[in-house]
Amino acid sequence: MSFEAGFRGNQATEEYVTIQDGPFAGATTKVIANLRQRLEDWYDGQSSEDRVMEMFSPGHAENDLVEGVGSNLCSGSGIDQFVEEIKADARDRGRVDHAQKAARANRDADWKVKLLRRHFESTDDIGSDQKVASLHFPSLQRQITDFEDVRRGINGTDLTEITPAIRQRVNNGILEYIFLRRRGNFLVPPRRYRAVPTPRPES
């Protein structure tokens, strides 16, 4: 949806998402989601400035922080400086934005990032023979509740209470354009406990 995603500075480390102790020490949890996208509305219905605003934050658009697909951002989206402003943005502008909402729930008490995400675009529409623009979205985190907290943050329910201009799917980041089709939650054991074939390159 127009922009690079997964900047290093906005991702958890592998160590951070690894379960540290207990019977599952060394494992991690994985959420895999498949989301349909309404790209015509995303591209035709608004300007590129609107898209920056809906994906990152109003501050990103106002300060011209995102050039093109955002390659200039290099190692981090710079969203941290706009997280605190989310309620003021909701009140003053009647809109809030995707990365801004996600980031506020995606930091621990030491301001470390909790989720290790990947995005890849596709036209798969799992379970149907249609070709539908979609995103496969795997996310690793120490516990599934970390994912749930971030996803709840993206819902922005608290922000709909600040102004009637923000509704579940209106002026609420990219929720107007993305629709979950499937989601699965998994425990990923350490490699030594996985049943995979032993490589035999000589044969």
* Positions in the binding site for ligand HEM (CB under 6 A): 1, 3, 5-7, 10, 33, 35, 37, 55, 77, 79, 98-99, 102-103, 106, 113, 115, 117, 119, 135, 137, 147, 150-151, 154, 178
For residue 25, the minimal CB distance to ligand HEM (Å) is 25
Nearest approach in angstroms of CB 19 to ligand HEM is 19
Is the CB of 55 or the CB of 90 nearer to ligand HEM? 55
C-beta separation of 40 from 49 below 8 A? no
Please tell me the distance from the alpha carbon of residue 163 to that of residue 41, in angstroms, as a whole number: 24
Considering beta carbons, is residue 121 or 161 the nearer one to ligand HEM?
A: 121
Residue (76 or 190) nearer to ligand HEM, CB? 76
DSSP codes, 15-84: HHHS--SSTTTT-EEEEEEEEEE-HHHHHHSS-HHHHHHHHT-HHHHHTT---TTTGGGTT---THHHHT
In the complex, what is the shortest distance from the CB of residue 193 to ligand HEM, in angstroms, rounded to a whole number? 27
